Chain A
């Protein structure tokens, strides 16, 4: 059907009587068509399929429509483990994202200093963590915080603790370590955006502020932050999106434990498809759609809040 439409367009283009504007218009559509088609086939079609699957249940060899049709969606509100995973994910979100963005901003400010020596080196150092594979950094954190790992032996030798702490085996510390790991991994990434944003601000604006007698604090809040707003909104959306889809840390660092107290939504979806709650694809798809809606809503709010144009 689509192909026929496209061919019709091509033939129409070759007709002599079409106006130049219409021709250009058509040409534009024809150029766009292959790419759009690919997006529809590769991206939208699977999404529609996933939605249909989210209304089904049973083994993936023989899936049946559920009765009532939105049962999978209703089911998750009674699913304590899913609610726990939502809670965990939002806990990471609320604590980690602000810390990370503030630290990234401070680092960007410091590294944007004109008189700083070895700027390139420092910038590389801060950025380096996010060039690392998610799995390998999770494993490094895991071995560092192991019961007889580096952190424990350092603390023990300094006399700060008397007995090895099972960091990853205790709910509160395991959560804290995931947050620390996330901050370590992603701060540099966000800093790079801020640095780019800062470099786009004319130095003369700061000079003018200086002449008007503004101190560093005022300059930061009155000039840097407003001018960086688009960048801040973008990093905010990306961080929220990334945190809601958090997977690797939960799987590799704590494997969701202890007692599922650090499991994230994506990890739970994975568990439902391929993990211990094997091959429950219908329910897993329904969960994925709910996460999708959450990301969309949060990003929309973020955009609205960030977009305070006068």
Chain B
């Protein structure tokens, strides 16, 4: 009797699980039917009902589908653009935002489509990470569509940002956010040690280390932190010097004097408790920044929402430009993403028109994107609006957004390479080993060999 009851419960649990599983997959299937119902293009008609997943392009009409991944950052920006286009151009327009759990999901969707040669599952538009796009355009050229003929004034964008989405002189993407690096300091901590935010402007890394040591001795806080295995400090610090880890498509490491000094500084900072290298990304954001371990944060300005997650520190932060090796204000850019039209787009004219109108420079889109998602534009004219010039309470009522747009216009254009992340991995490993006592030059030589090896040189 007992056994029967038990098996009944088991069967019940299993069938519930199965039902739940089926329920999940049938829900998006129902979603896709709606756009299919009002299709006009006959070619698209055959594609939409053929698959039951939500991963497909919208079929004609006034609907576009787009992949994006951050519900508190880039999705509000897309919603802002949709509202803008709807209000000012075409009130029948609608944007179907398909949320992905992380940026790599979009990359893998392209990999999958490219590997199988079947691009019909892609949405009309994808949001794509800047550092990856060059690699993906060269690996899967059939997945993308040139947007050279879109009605956009490209000169109105930061040149550095455009250098990612332009491949061999052809424009493929519309910039969305801005990766300009901010150097944010806890002003209250600095004051405790006798420094002001202005004193930190334009200093050299040696001075930074000296101040950092004082701050650590007095308050126990590090002046900087970074993810040790995904170490972006090297890239950012080198870009501020105008240098790149690549030269003529090959890694340029051991003979690159500024790069070697940058690495030396990072090792020194880490050994002197000026910079804390966290074990991974979540350690970096949760433990060091939100866990109040640091008095300074240096990263792309998309890190600002992370800083703002600690409400009790409101008003205590301010931003400025980053230090450089020989002193003077440094500017760099890290991360960020752009919107790309896929080759599966059924209505490329609409997609180009929509993106050119909104992200091509509409103040209304960018103001709302900033307000709702904290997305900062790299479109120079849009960055001069009133919303950008408002003071931000969390940052002691300073107009940080206008400041960031202004800093963004100074960022050096440097040589980019497909192997950006490969280089980051190997360089981070070299730094970690050097901190644990290995000889830095030997480690850098190994890193250079490894990067060359991975690139097949």
Contacts and interface: CB of A to CB of B under 8 A. Distances in A.
Partners in one complex: yes
A257 B139 contact: no
A79 interface: yes
Contacts of A254: 279
A274 interface: yes
Interface string B425-438: 10011111100100
Contacts of A129: none
B265 interface: no
Nearest to B449: A80
Nearest to B434: A259
Interface stretch (A96-104, A167-175, A188-196, A211-219): A167-175
Contacts of A277: 422, 425, 454
Contacts of B352: none
> How would you classify the secondary structure of chain A's contact residues: helix, strand, loop or mixed?
loop
A259 B142 CA distance: 36
A81 B450 contact: yes
Interface in A79-138: 79-81
A61 B432 contact: no
A148 B287 contact: yes
A236 interface: no
Nearest to B433: A259
Nearest to A273: B111
A64 interface: no
A260 interface: yes
A148 B291 contact: yes
B229 interface: yes
B383 interface: no
A169 B433 CA distance: 11
Contacts of B422: 276-277
Contacts of A259: 229, 428-433, 436
Contacts of B278: 169
A147 B287 contact: yes
Contact of A78 (B115, B135, B421, B453): B453
A79 B453 contact: yes
B280 A257 contact: yes
B424 interface: yes
Contacts of A36: none
> How would you classify the secondary structure of chain B's contact residues: helix, strand, loop or mixed?
helix
A281 interface: yes
B140 interface: yes
B229 A255 contact: yes
Contacts of B450: 80-81
B287 A146 contact: yes
Given A166-B279, A255-B280, A59 B229 contact: no
Nearest to B429: A259
Given A80-B446, A169-B279, A259-B433, A278 B453 contact: no
Question: Which of A169, A256, A259, A276 counts the most chain B CB atoms within 10 A?
Answer: A259
A24 interface: no
Contacts of A170: 436
Contacts of A276: 421-422, 424-425
B429 A60 contact: no
B205 to A, nearest CB: 22
Given A255-B229, A257-B229, A276-B421, A59 B140 contact: yes
B228 A278 contact: no
A181 interface: no
B283 interface: yes
Contacts of B279: 147, 166, 168-169, 254-255, 257-258
A279 B421 CA distance: 13
A169 B228 contact: yes
B114 A59 contact: yes
A216 to B, nearest CB: 38
Interface in A28-75: 59-61
Contacts of A61: 114-115, 117, 139-143
A148 B449 CA distance: 36
Contacts of B277: 169
B115 A60 contact: yes
Contact of B436 (A81, A147, A171, A281): A171
Given A60-B115, A166-B279, A257-B229, A279 B432 contact: no
A197 B114 CA distance: 51
B132 interface: yes
A148 B142 CA distance: 48
Interface in B84-118: 104, 107-108, 111, 114-115, 117
A279 B428 contact: no
B215 to A, nearest CB: 18
B110 to A, nearest CB: 9
Given A169-B278, A255-B279, A276-B424, 5 more contacts: A61-B141, A257-B228, A258-B432, A259-B229, A259-B432
15 contacts: A60-B115, A61-B140, A80-B450, A169-B277, A171-B436, A255-B229, A256-B229, A257-B229, A258-B229, A259-B436, A274-B104, A276-B422, A278-B107, A279-B111, A279-B139
